[in-house]
Structure 1
Amino acid sequence: MDAIRTRAHQDLNDEPARAARLAGVDTLGVDEHIWKPSARHRDRAVTSIVDLTRDQDGRIHARLLDVTLGRSGPVYADWIRARTREFVDGITHASLDPFRGYANAIRTELPDDTVTVLDAFHVVKLASTAMDEVRRRVQQATLGRRGHKKDPLYRIRRLLSTARENLTDRGRARLEAALQAGDPGLEVTVAWHAYQELRSMFHASTPAAGRATAKRVLDSFYRCPIPEIARLGRTLRSWRAEVLAYFDTGGISNGGTEAINLIIEKTRRLAHGFRNFGNYRIRILLAADGTRPWRRQRRGSG
Structure 2
Amino acid sequence: MNNQIETLFTTALGLQSPWEVVSVELNTGKRRIDFQVAYGAKGASCPACAMEHQLIHDRIERSWRHLDFFQFEAWLHAEVPRVRCSGCGKTTQLPVPWAREGSGFTLLFEALGLSLCRELPVSQAARQMRVSAKRLWRRVHHYVTAARTQDDMSGVRHVGIDETSVKRGHEYITLVHDLQARRLLFACPGRDHTTIEAFATELRAHGGDPDAVAHVCIDMSAAYTKGVGQALPNAQVSYDRFHVVALANAAMDEVRREEMRASAAAVREALGTHDKKALRQLLWGMRKDAAQWTPAQLNAMHWLQRTNLKSARAWRLKQALRHLYREAANSNSEPFAQQALTKWMSWARRCRLEPFKRLAQTLKTHLGGVVRGMLDGRSNAYVEAMNGLLQQTKTAARGFRDVGNFIAVAYLRMSKLKHLPANPLIPAISREIGRYRHVC
Give the TM bin, normalised by the shorter chain: 0.7 to 0.9
1:94, distance to aligned residue in structure 2 (A): 0.4
Q: Counterparts of 1:166-245 in structure 2 under 5 Å?
A: 174-178=300-304, 180=306, 183-184=307-308, 186-204=309-327, 205-208=330-333, 212-245=339-372
C-alpha spacing 1:218/1:80, structure 2 compared with 1 (3 Å): farther
The alpha-carbon deviation at position 288 of structure 1 amounts to: 1.0
Q: Report what 1:157 is aligned to.
A: 283
In structure 2, how many angstroms separate the alpha carbons of the residues matched to 1:47 and 1:63? 14
Alignment partner of 1:67 out of 181, 184, 187: 187
- Indicate if the aligned counterparts of 2:157 and 2:215 stay in contact, CA closer than 8 A: yes
Secondary structure of the residue aligned to 1:157 is helix
**Secondary structure of the equivalent of 1:138?**
helix
Inter-CA distance 75–226: structure 2 relative to 1 (3 Å threshold): same
Post-superposition offset of 1:188: 2.4
CA positional deviation for 1:239: 1.6
**Corresponding residue SS for 1:156:** helix
Report SS of the residue matched to 1:25. coil
Which of 281, 286, 289 lines up with 2:407 in the alignment?
Answer: 281
| 1:1-302 pair list within 5 angstroms | 1=136, 2-13=138-149, 17-18=150-151, 20=152, 22-37=153-168, 44-53=171-180, 61-81=181-201, 83-84=203-204, 86-111=208-233, 113-143=234-264, 149-150=275-276, 154-163=280-289, 174-178=300-304, 180=306, 183-184=307-308, 186-204=309-327, 205-208=330-333, 212-249=339-376, 251-269=377-395, 271-290=397-416
Among all aligned residue pairs of Structure 1 and Structure 2, give the percentage whose two residues are the same amino acid: 24
Structure 1 or 2: larger strand share?
A: 2
Cα shift readout 1:148-171 (whole Å, capped 9, x = no counterpart)? 853875541222234357669986
Asked whether the 8 Å contact 1:211–1:247 carries over to 2, the reply is: no
Runs of at least 4 residues off by over 6 Å:
144-148, 165-170, 291-296
**Distance across 2 between alignment mates of 1:27 and 1:260:** 17
Q: Which residue of 1 aligns with 2:20?
A: none
CA apart distance, 1:121: 1.2
Compare relative contact order (CA 8 Å, sep 6+) and give the higher one, 1 or 2. Answer: 1
**Change in CA separation of 1:118 and 1:33 when aligned onto 2, cut-off 3 Å:** same
TM-score scaled to structure 2, two decimals?
A: 0.54
Code of the residue aligned with 2:175 in structure 1: it is S
Distance 2:238 2:348 in 1: 20
Q: Which runs of 5+ in 2 are unaligned?
A: 1-135, 269-273, 435-440
The 1-side partners of 2:208 and 2:185 are apart by 16
The structure-2 alpha-carbon separation of the partners of 1:265 and 1:234, relative to structure 1 and needing over 3 Å to count, comes to: same
Matched position secondary structure for 1:24: coil
Q: 1: CA distance between counterparts of 2:285 and 2:185?
A: 39
State the secondary structure of the residue aligned to 1:218: helix
AA paired with 2:332?
Answer: P
CA distance in 2, matches of 1:27, 1:105: 16
Aligned length: 276
Tell me if the contact between 2:192 and 2:224 (Cα under 8 Å) persists in the aligned partners: yes
AA of the residue aligned to 1:32: E
- Evaluate the alpha carbon distance shift between residue 93 and residue 171 of structure 1 in structure 2; reply closer, same or farther with a 3 A threshold: same
> Secondary structure in 2 aligned to 1:130?
helix
8 Å contact from structure 2 (residues 217, 240) kept in 1 = yes
Deviations 1:238-284 (A, max 9, x none): 221111002332x1111121122134334445554433333433332
Contact 1:264/1:288 (<8 A) preserved: no
The alignment partner of 2:276 has SS state of coil
Distance apart, 1:100 and its partner CA: 1.5
Cα distance, 1:124 vs structure 2: 0.9
Distance 1:90 1:104 in 2: 18
Amino acid at match of 1:286: L
CA offsets 1:91-145 (integer angstroms, 9 cap, x no match): 001011221111111122212x421111211211111221222222222333379
Give, as a single letter, the amino acid of the residue that structure 2 aligns with 1:213.
Answer: A
Q: Secondary structure at the residue paired with 2:385?
A: helix
Note if contact 1:263-1:288 (Cα within 8 Å) is conserved in structure 2: no
Alpha-carbon distance in 2 for matches of 1:270, 1:174: 35
1:139, 1:265 → 2: CA distance? 31
TM-score (normalised: structure 1): 0.76
Tell me the C-alpha RMSD between the 2 structures: 3.4
- Give ranges in structure 1 of 5+ residues lacking alignment: 54-60
Deviation of 1:178 after TM superposition, in Å, equals 4.0
